[in-house]
Amino acid sequence: MLSIYHKVKGGFCLPVFLLFAAVACSEGEEENHTPATVGEITLGATAVSEISRSGARLTSSLTNTSEEAVRAKGFCYSLSSPPTLSDGVVTLESGAADFTAVISGLKSNTAYSVCAYAVTDKQTIYGASNAFRTLADADGAEDFQAPTYADDYSVAGISSWANRNQWNLANVHDPTVEKCGDYYYMYGTDASYGNVHVGRGHFPYRRSKDLVSWDFQGMAMSETPAWVKDTLNSMRSQLGLPAISNPLFGHWAPVVRKVDSKYRMYYCIVVDNYILTGKPNTAANFDNSWTERAFIGLMETGDLGSNLWEDKGMVVCSSTDREKNWARPSLSNWDGYFRWNAIDPSFIVTPEGEHWLIYGSWHSGIVALALDPATGKPFKLGAPWLSAALPDYGSRIYTRNANSRWQGSEAPEVIYNEETGYYYLFLAYDELAVAYNTRACRSRSVAGPYVDFSGRSAAGGISDCKPILTHPYKFGNHSGWVGISHCCIFRGDDGSWYYCSQGRLPENTNGNAYSNAIMMGHVRKIRWTDDGWPVVMPERYAAAPQTPITEEELVGAWENITLKYSYGKQQSAQALTLSASKTASGALSGAWSWDAAAKTLTVGALKLYVEREVDWEASPRTCTIVYAGLNSSGESVWGKKK
């Protein structure tokens, strides 16, 4: 397909895509704008559809029962009427009697005149003119620039610590977001491509005013607090175990919340040494015991911008009902020693003023623990190795398998939506490198009972909790994303809800065997279904201009992805067409309708929630329309207009 430019009245150029050359009138040929019928050649009036800010779809028809051969046909368009071949010209995309073409590159909020044309050896014939106006830009839309930072920041050459001021959302893992003053602050786990964080401190953070451009600020914690080692060895002494001189620490998954005039950060520190001997966790050092406990600590500040935190010490640690029975027969045994694993904290203050810590990972499930609002810590804690003290460490509100102490669910995030009256528990399923996917359940009470999309009890064990909100996926023109979970949920200044997590590139992206270690922060908008379930938008948030979406814009080709669960595999996009006659074909089928006020597209019985967003897979990136919804099985359905 050849791209050229035609001069149009008004002094600017328009791109025109030709399938074969349009032919202008030559000397001796007759240019006849009316009538539309000459002899036995007839052109229909031009219908205009799919009008956008910069283009439209044109359709007409040609009947030829004469002996003259039609050498070319298509459409003319201009800023004045009637248009001719000396104005903008686009040739047909289909060669049938009914023919269609798409104009692009038009000015927004501008009136155009259009007509069909046909050229024979003797004359040029024009159809009746039609007029339309392109859509208006939202305020600032003409100045909108889609984000340009690279998804693969190793190729961009900015993955090193020295280039951290260019990271934007590079090297984000297990994020938490909170607003302070003019900025949103995002904190996360100590994880980075190439381990460039090592030796720099802990809990990296960045800030943004618009949720799109983020400035890396540094680390929230300069060094591991002394209380962690001291508390660990004090417990080991009470258990008759030797002290560990140099524990191996992992710093994971903080959560930050504003409480009155202060900000609280609950953070997690994992001890990666064996219980029995205290040796580092390696296969060579295996001593037939499990690895040591994890700790959740607390620190506070009055201003996130200051990065001056006061550490408050331990909140909880991993606890067990197995007393001193920490034996592990082999490295292939997964019947964990700890019942509640003290990592991945989430924190919430209820409308009634109660404070709750929700935490847990992979062992026996997720627990809820009431806290003293004054201190942010439990009301009492017994020895974490005594089964009688286990209730001090929380009550289970979710498990993937009630009969297993080792299961693929972690990273709880709890929020309350006052519009629906529900607490929502978001969960990460499976391993984090590839298979990670996000599930949700809900309850009228923060401590449960939580139920999933089908009404099943979360505390009793749901192996396949639904809805599925994110999953490894792939639109066209991109490698796609995997490892999309461990989310935080927050509200923006305008009241909109957002989902934020890491996403990883698949292995061997751009020929890089280690590309699965490339982590990019994803911020996505959330919409809520009529029956109160969240749906996460398929494209990342970019503050795209939110002009009204017209029914005509929805007509055309889409990419559709249904997030059916498939362990460790990406779901790929399938073709979908929404016709001007209000029928859908391809990935979805049935009649379709558009509710502009509610911004919902209904296809058959499926309701989809529509937004303008950026097409991140396009090059260069540009604005498009996306949708997300839930099918009757609780699987997210994602779509993007091509």
pLDDT digits over 452-468, tens only?
999 999 999 999 999 99
d(CA 506, CA 433): 9
Does the pLDDT at position 386 exceed 70? yes
Asked if residues 38 and 86 have their Cβ atoms less than 8 Å apart, the reply is no
Does the pLDDT at position 17 exceed 60? no
Listed in sequence order, the residues at least 6 apart from 302 whose beta carbon sits closer than 8 Å to its beta carbon are 261, 262, 263
Specify the CATH architecture of the domain 2-133.
Sandwich (2.60)
Does the pLDDT at position 239 exceed 90? yes
Residue with tokens 């044309």: 117
- Give which of 108, 126, 153 is closest to 42, Cα–Cα: 126
Between the CA atoms of 339, 344, 350 and 356, what dihedral angle is there, to the nearest 10 degrees? 40
Terminal C-alpha separation, the chain? 18
Mean pLDDT of 549-558: 94
Q: pLDDT class for 142, splitting at 50, 70, 90?
A: low
Q: What backbone torsions phi and psi does residue 81 show, to the nearest 5 degrees?
A: -120, 140
Q: What backbone torsions phi and psi does residue 288 show, to the nearest 5 degrees?
A: 60, 35
- Give which of 101, 27, 29 is closest to 62, Cα–Cα: 101
Mean pLDDT of 545-559: 93
Specify the CATH architecture of the domain 551-641.
Beta Barrel (2.40)
Rg (CA), the chain: 30
Percentage of residues in the chain having pLDDT higher than 90: 79
Instruction: Map out the domains of the chain as residue ranges.
Output: 2-133, 224-395, 551-641
Q: pLDDT class for 80, splitting at 50, 70, 90?
A: confident
Q: pLDDT class for 71, splitting at 50, 70, 90?
A: confident
State the sign of the Cα–Cα–Cα–Cα dihedral 101, 103, 109, 112.
negative
Asked if residues 309 and 301 have their Cβ atoms less than 8 Å apart, the reply is yes
Asked if residues 349 and 255 have their Cβ atoms less than 8 Å apart, the reply is no
Q: What is the DSSP string of 512-573?
A: -TTGGG-EEEEEEEEEE-TTS-EEE-SS-------PPPPHHHH-EEEEEEE----TT-PEEP
Look at residue 250 and give its three-state secondary structure: strand
- Give which of 446, 533, 430 is closest to 483, Cα–Cα: 430
d(CA 527, CA 446): 22
- Give which of 514, 506, 617, 508 is closest to 569, Cα–Cα: 506
Asked if residues 614 and 624 have their Cβ atoms less than 8 Å apart, the reply is yes
Q: What is the pLDDT of residue 461?
A: 94
Q: pLDDT class for 34, splitting at 50, 70, 90?
A: very low
Mean pLDDT of 120-130: 89
Q: What is the mean pLDDT of the chain?
A: 91
Asked if residues 152 and 158 have their Cβ atoms less than 8 Å apart, the reply is no
Look at residue 194 and give its three-state secondary structure: helix
Alpha-carbon 420 to chain mean position = 22
Please name the amino acid found at residue 433.
A
Output 329 or 16, whichever has higher pLDDT. 329
